[in-house]
A and B are shown apart, each in its own frame.
Chain A
Amino acid sequence: MSDIQDVTAEVPARRQLRTKPFSLADRLFYGITKSASSISVILVAAILLFLLSQSFATFQTQGFDFITGSQWNNAKGHEVFQIGPMLWGSVLISILGIIGGVPMAIAAAYFIEFMAPKPIAKVATVLVDLLAAMPSIVIGLWGLYVLTPVVAHWGSLLYGLHHVSMGPVNFDIPIFAMSDGSVPSTFSGSPFIAGWIVAVMIVPIITSVTREIFSQMDRDLINSALALGGSRSSVFMRVILPTASGGVTGGVLLGLGRALGETVAIFYVLNLVSDINWFNILQSKGGSVASLVLQKFGEGTPNEIKALMAAGLVLFVLTLLVNWLAAVIVNRAQPWRKI
């Protein structure tokens, strides 16, 4: 041993540290988990490669207009494949879904975590998770046969009331107007309805992520805010929500990843039109990349199918980006976990 005062003393050579598991059981476990995670990476890569190879031709013939243009024609010799309205439509209904779903999900998470007595909280959690397991075709049919008529009923009622009390509705507010100046009647097939369907579909995932974040919060942090004289609402707005915002944003983006790729449910309730609808959300005219694929795939011409593959690739990349962003935000923004 060297003298503790001697700062120039030699240090012994570095030793090899074992970073892999030692026992057979641990190695086996390590192997299984490692291969499982590799399989998912390989699958994603394989899908990406497949889509790339299939869509190459389309990108070559259509160029960048594939993403920005708004025509679709599969007649031989006049083939044009452009998904602008569908891509924007996917984004628009996702935004609407978030506007409708996020407050609902956060409120549900708050109720379950901070207000409900234990048994009720358990039941509510199970019900919300059940909603996540609901096949999307069921939600689509619900949208078509239940939500759409209800919305139409309330829509005409409200317009009628407005007409009686204040005269004809003034459609100067762009998002409530029709691109052709007509008066909206039923809202069926509109991005508004599709947005609510998306909201229903993303509420469970956002609720469960938010609930998880809320449950990890230091109770004494919340108690200190209450002890300072805060009310439930001010404590929520100034302490709980800001502290949880990173995680909640991540949950929202995870939900968005699902919303963007949502196919069947939207297909049922949205009137797909290959003409861009920027923000007339009550008009029976919208787009969704995933629903476009569903609509055209069955009887597509060979080139059209390649174009649909390309559309799938665009959607895939978009979803991947959103999920990646979600992961980054969730990992970074949890300062209270440091301790």
Chain B
Amino acid sequence: MENIATSASHLRSEDVNVWFGERHVLKNVSLNFPSNQVTALIGPSGCGKSTFLRTLNRMHELIPSAGFAGKVLLDGHDIYDHDVDPVDVRLNIGMVFQKPNPFPTMSIRENVLSGLKLTGRRGYNAAELVETSLRRASIWNEVKDRLNDPALSLSGGQQQRLCIARSLAMDPEVLLMDEPCSALDPGSTRRIEETITELSDSMTIVIVTHNMQQAQRVSHQTAFFLAEDGNPGRVVEFGKTDDVFNSPIDPRTNDYVNGHFG
């Protein structure tokens, strides 16, 4: 029998390459994201972290000039297979964006349920789903008495946790986060880091971050991306977070994590 709480999937990229028009921005990125692990993607600005993240749930192809080569395997199945509906991919692989962006016309409750509405789901217990999702995003206690307030009445940090709750309501197996704390204060950042740690019990998480301490606090493994002058970005180092930060193999990784460039 499958236990919902531990049904996290295993994600893997094989030789992922990305182009925008003729410009080659990512080259042969092969990474393995085991279930229930948090993987941090780090690297200087413009090296292709966000782009890579978007290839993992097929958001990349929404950009008109986008090109792609390689494979992304979710539990062994290539999500880019021609008979796979990108919508199904995105249902399994949720995403949280850099800037908190709850739907402005909806209340807190409606935001949590927005994914179900958008996909035309029926037959769920709304009250229960709202509560569990908000609890998992550790924001329930702060909003339980004001679920019908507009989502924009929340603070930035609360809005971001609401956006996490919104993704969790769809019960994804993998959660992608692109610098989810970069617009937040230290307190909210800490809350979200705690949330990430709790969530990793039940899902696989990939997080892009510019914050080296954050990467060390939340992640099990780390990939260091680098795009050297004019060349496409690639993974320079990938391994256990401890190793990448404390005993990196590549000198460039050492320089980067110690703040010497980027």
Contacts and interface: CB of A to CB of B under 8 A. Distances in A.
A224 B64 contact: no
Interface stretch (B24-32, B38-46, B110-118, B205-213): B110-118
A204 B190 CA distance: 50
Most chain B C-beta atoms within 10 Å of own C-beta, residue among A117, A239, A245: A239
Interface string B82-107: 00000110110011011101011110
A225 B152 contact: no
A210 B91 CA distance: 30
B3 interface: no
Contact of B163 (A117, A224, A336): A224
A228 B170 contact: yes
A304 B181 CA distance: 71
**Of A118, A229, A335, which is in contact with the most chain B CB atoms at under 10 Å from its CB?**
A229
A218 B101 contact: yes
Contacts of B118: 225, 228-231, 234-235, 238-239
Contacts of B1: none
Contacts, number: 80
A226 B59 contact: yes
B112 to A, nearest CB: 11
The interface residues of chain A, by DSSP majority, are classed as: helix
B141 interface: no
Contacts of B57: 227
Contacts of B150: 335
A31 interface: no
Interface string A205-222: 000000000000010110
Given A242-B105, A338-B152, A225 B114 contact: yes
A159 B105 CA distance: 45
A220 B99 CA distance: 8
A223 B105 contact: no
Interface in A231-265: 231, 234-235, 238-239, 242-243, 245
B104 A229 contact: no
A228 B114 CA distance: 8
B98 A229 contact: no
A227 B94 contact: yes
B59 A227 contact: yes
B164 to A, nearest CB: 11
A335 B105 contact: yes
B62 interface: yes
Interface in A279-323: none
Contacts of A245: 105
A243 B104 contact: yes
B119 A336 contact: no
B98 A220 contact: yes
Contacts of B98: 220
Contacts of A234: 117-120
Interface residues of B, number: 30
Contacts of B117: 234, 238
B161 interface: no
Contacts of B101: 218, 220-221, 224
A243 B99 CA distance: 17
Given A227-B90, A228-B90, A220 B152 contact: no
A243 B152 CA distance: 13
Nearest to B92: A229
A239 B103 contact: yes
Given A223-B62, A223-B97, A224-B97, A229 B115 contact: yes
A224 B95 contact: yes
B123 to A, nearest CB: 16
A116 to B, nearest CB: 10
A220 B105 contact: no
Given A228-B114, A228-B170, A117 B119 contact: no
Interface in A112-168: 117-118
Nearest to B90: A229
A230 B97 contact: no
Interface string A12-35: 000000000000000000000000
B241 interface: no
A43 B123 CA distance: 61
Contact of B152 (A228, A229, A231, A335): A335
Contacts of A338: 152
A229 B117 CA distance: 10
30 contacts: A118-B64, A218-B101, A220-B97, A220-B101, A221-B103, A223-B59, A223-B62, A224-B97, A224-B101, A225-B103, A225-B114, A227-B167, A228-B90, A228-B166, A228-B170, A229-B91, A229-B119, A230-B115, A231-B119, A234-B118, A234-B120, A235-B118, A238-B117, A238-B118, A242-B106, A243-B105, A245-B105, A335-B105, A335-B152, A336-B104
Interface of B: 57, 59, 62, 64, 87-88, 90-91, 94-95, 97-99, 101, 103-106, 114-115, 117-120, 150, 152, 163, 166-167, 170
**Closest 7 CB pairs between A and B?**
A230-B118, A228-B115, A227-B95, A242-B105, A229-B91, A336-B104, A335-B104
